[in-house]
């Protein structure tokens, strides 16, 4: 097994609690959370991770109060504008995956522009899951496969073929999934893709999860014994 995971994924959790503990609005936690995104991206590049993916906004998150949803979308927009140069300079390709039909035209345009600008970067790929859920992904894959192949051909389909219809097609499955804030569940994230992923749970709230915490998670991963269902 490689000591450094090729793909690290993070469920960034605890922004609201972090803000509440300081007597502030939840959005303050999200703003501080953007700093953790920056720190972990840097730490991942430094460690030689090839894919870092972040669960930034789930399909379920659309049910949060409108003001919070709007602020999160604004933060995304601001981060895109602020980080273009750093991403390009550090060779980081930026990709957004999820149900983009639900995002505003202006955010979609900003995402497309950043994806274009960083398309040739090959040091690391930063994937932001926006308006994403695992069940949505599996359903959209099934519908597209059925439309493209027809019901009879679906009978012959392998798991590998099916993965080619998920929005993560071509991206290796996560080796390591980190969830912050003490919660220990998958919350409709990469349900198909995490079949053999190692999970590391941290009690640290996302706005406090910085380089040392990220590196500690990589160290925990390096101690794991992955067998993929086989006997060693
Ligand atoms: C979970 O904390 C966090 C989110 C739902 C949003 C994460 C978004 C960011 C860190 C900002 C933008 C991201 C990028 C990629 C620039 P929570 O609100 O569920 O916290 P709680 O569980 O304490 O309520």
Residue 228 lies in a domain: no
Specify the residue with its C-alpha closest to ligand 1, atom 10.
33
Distance from residue 12's CA to the centre of ligand 1 (Å) = 6
Residue 148 lies in a domain: yes
- The interaxial angle of helices 211-223 and 26-47, nearest 10 deg, is 50
Residue 231 lies in a domain: no
Rounded to an integer, what distance in angstroms lies between the CA atom of residue 163 and that of residue 114? Answer: 26
- The pLDDT > 70 percentage for the chain reads 99
Question: Mean pLDDT across the stretch 175-202?
Answer: 98
Query: Hey, which of 31, 32, 33, 128 would you mutate to test ligand 1's pocket, going by the most ligand atoms within 8 Å of its Cβ?
Result: 33
Q: Which domain range does residue 33 map to?
A: 7-222
From the number of C-beta atoms within 10 Å of its C-beta (0-12, 13-18, 19+), residue 186 rates as middle
Residue 33 lies in a domain: yes
Distance from residue 204's CA to the centre of ligand 1 (Å) = 13
Distance from residue 63's CA to the centre of ligand 1 (Å) = 14
Ligand 1 pocket, residue 75 CB under 6 Å: yes
Ligand 1 pocket, residue 12 CB under 6 Å: yes
Closest CA to 120 of 87, 167, 73: 87
Q: What is the pLDDT of residues 134-148, one digit of tens each?
A: 999 999 999 999 999
Q: Do strands 198-201 and 7-11 pair parallel, antiparallel, or not at all (unpaired)? A: unpaired
What is residue 59's predicted lDDT score, i.e. its pLDDT? 97
The SS3 assignment for 12 reads coil
Indicate if 105 belongs to the active site: no
Residue 1 lies in a domain: no
Ligand 1 pocket, residue 13 CB under 6 Å: yes
**Is 60 exceeded by the pLDDT of residue 1?**
no
Residue 189 lies in a domain: yes
Residue 2 lies in a domain: no
The SS3 assignment for 176 reads strand
Domains in the chain, number:
1
Query: Hey, which of 9, 10, 13, 128 would you mutate to test ligand 1's pocket, going by the most ligand atoms within 8 Å of its Cβ?
Result: 13
Cβ within 8 Å of residue 54, ≥6 positions away: 9, 10, 12, 37, 126, 127, 128, 129
Residue 156 lies in a domain: yes
Reading the block at residue 99, the tokens are: 């149900």
Q: What is the pLDDT of residues 12-67, one digit of tens each?
A: 999 999 999 999 999 999 999 999 999 999 999 999 999 999 999 999 999 999 99
Ligand 1 pocket, residue 33 CB under 6 Å: yes
Query: Are residues 181 and 162 in contact, defined by beta-carbon separation less than 8 angstroms?
Result: no
Indicate if 108 belongs to the active site: no
CA atoms within 13 A on the CB side of 164: 9
Specify the residue with its C-alpha closest to ligand 1, atom 3.
13
Phi, psi of 52 (to 5 degrees): -120, 120
Identify the CATH number of the domain in which residue 121 sits: 3.40.1180.10
């Amino acid at each position: 097994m490689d000591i450094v995971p090729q793909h690290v994924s993070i469920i960034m959790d605890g922004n609201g609690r972090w803000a509440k503990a300081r007597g502030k609005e939840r959005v303050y936690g999200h703003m501080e959370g953007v700093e953790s995104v920056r720190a972990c991206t840097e730490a991942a590049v430094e460690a030689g991770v090839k894919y870092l993916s972040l669960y930034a906004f789930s399909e379920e998150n659309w049910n949060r109060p409108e003001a919070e949803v709007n602020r999160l979308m604004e933060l995304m927009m601001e981060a895109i504008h602020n980080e273009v140069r750093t991403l390009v300079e550090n060779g980081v390709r930026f990709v957004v995956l999820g149900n983009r039909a639900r995002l505003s035209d202006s955010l979609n345009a900003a995402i497309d522009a950043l994806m274009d600008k960083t398309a040739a970067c090959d040091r690391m790929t930063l994937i932001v899951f926006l308006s994403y859920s695992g069940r949505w992904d599996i359903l959209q894959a099934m519908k597209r496969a059925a439309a493209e192949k027809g019901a009879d051909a679906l009978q012959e389909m392998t798991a590998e073929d099916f993965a080619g219809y998920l929005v993560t097609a071509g991206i290796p499955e996560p080796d390591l999934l980190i969830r912050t804030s003490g919660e220990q569940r998958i919350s409709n994230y990469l349900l198909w893709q995490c079949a053999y992923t190692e999970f590391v749970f941290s009690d640290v709230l996302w706005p406090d999860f910085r380089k040392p915490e990220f590196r500690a998670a990589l160290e925990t991963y390096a101690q794991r014994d992955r067998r993929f269902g086989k006997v060693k």
